[in-house]
Amino acid sequence: MTSGPATAVLTRRRLPLAVAAGLLIADQLTKWWALERLDDGSTIGLVVVAVLVVWAGRIDPRSQRVAVGAVIGGAVGNLVDRIFRADDGPLSGAVVDFIDLQWWPVFNVADMALVVGVIVLVGLLAVEDHRLSASLGAEAGADAGALGSGEGADGDVAGAGPLDAERT
């Protein structure tokens, strides 16, 4: 078996797809239970799953892949309802929402996975962006200090500006 970039991408896609599959199963089982015991609910918008699957192969941190898997699983769970519960044509089926907290809109496991996955993913991406910005700032500071004399290419002394009390 060969290893390389293509194999690495396939390996990185496995985790989000496994999370998505697990959530799809949980979502469909709980919806089956709800239809047997509870009434129908409202629907939630669909996410473009294909884009997420492609993107999942390009992201490296495991935590981000799990979050993407949750979003994919939630979106596919609701999409399956729309396709297989349809009587009046493609995508006309109702999503089964049955979890009612009395103070929040009625939802299902797929909705939870989708919303939590998006929130976690946004948080993880924000932290990564913050770390990257801090890292780039530290590198820029190290580069400025590496000049030795403190003098820049244009002859100005580093850190000496019009508000500095003392110029070197």
Give me 70's structure tokens.
């949750």
Q: What is the pLDDT of residue 166?
A: 45
- Containing H/E element for 137? helix 109-145
pTM recorded for the entire structure: 0.55
Q: Which residues are catalytic?
A: 97, 111
Nearest to 78 by CA among 54, 95, 58: 95
Q: Summarize pLDDT for 74-105 with one digit per residue, the tens.
A: 888 888 887 787 777 666 677 888 889 999 88
- Amino acid found at 108: N
- Overall average pLDDT of the 21-49 stretch: 67
Quick check: 105 and 54 in contact, CB under 8 A?
Answer: no
- Higher local confidence (pLDDT), 70 or 59: 70
Q: Which of 57-61, 91-95, 139-143 has the lowest mean pLDDT?
A: 139-143
